[in-house]
Amino acid sequence: MCGRFAITLPTDAMAQLFDAAPANALPEVPNYNVCPTTQIHVITGREGERRRLGAMRWGFLPSWYKSPTDGPLLINARAETIAEKPAFRAACRERRCLIPCSGFYEWTKDESGARLPWYIQRADGAPLVFAAIWQDWGQGEDRAPTCAMVTTGANDAMGRIHHRMPVILEEADWGLWLGEEGKGAARLMRAAGEEVLRFHRVDPKVNSNRASGAGLIAPIPA
């Protein structure tokens, strides 16, 4: 799964990378501690000539939720069951999106049970791009988009830290996932190759969702 991540790419660089028109109100960058229920950067399919770079709540809200706390917090959707779950199946068919980030955090535990955070990023230094789905929630002026990342079983390297990982998309697959290139997006919901990612230990201060700053992703001895 993925429960926290960092985004350091400037907004104009994101817009250029995805050939997307940016919305007026977007989350501030850099942010080294992006947490669930906050607004995050999301790319949706082409509207005319360009895709759209907008903001969505990280935490998918099904249409039947009467409030954001009316059920479980749905920040991830499992690739294995996404097409069957009532909360996700329509979005999986009709409302797929991309979530960019610079890296994400996962945790292991030491012998005493203390949580040890790791920072995971692309080995080539490029931004990570996660497969995701979205859903408008609410009524009238209060209607707002919400989203969840798609996850799958971890590859062997990532499995040493966590048994799940986000579905990571290569640039050649962005259009297919967004529905711009017909059907077949289901085949993209698989683990990335072991060579795609690298990871290092970081300071436990990131265990707090109030922590901030570039020091959160700085390596420390494992």
Annotated active-site positions, please?
2, 106
Cα radius of gyration (the chain): 17
| DSSP line for 130-184 | EEEEEEEESSGGG-EEEEEEEEEE--HHHHTT-SEEEPB--GGGHHHHTTTT-S-
Exposure letters 3-17 (e unless 16+ CB within 10 A, then b): bbbbbebebeebbeb
Do the beta carbons of residue 156 and residue 196 sit within 8 Å? Answer: no
The Cβ-side half-sphere exposure at 208, using a 13 Å CA radius, reads 7
Among candidates 111, 185, 113, 99, which has minimal Cα distance to 148?
A: 99
Q: Token digits for 182?
A: 């017909």
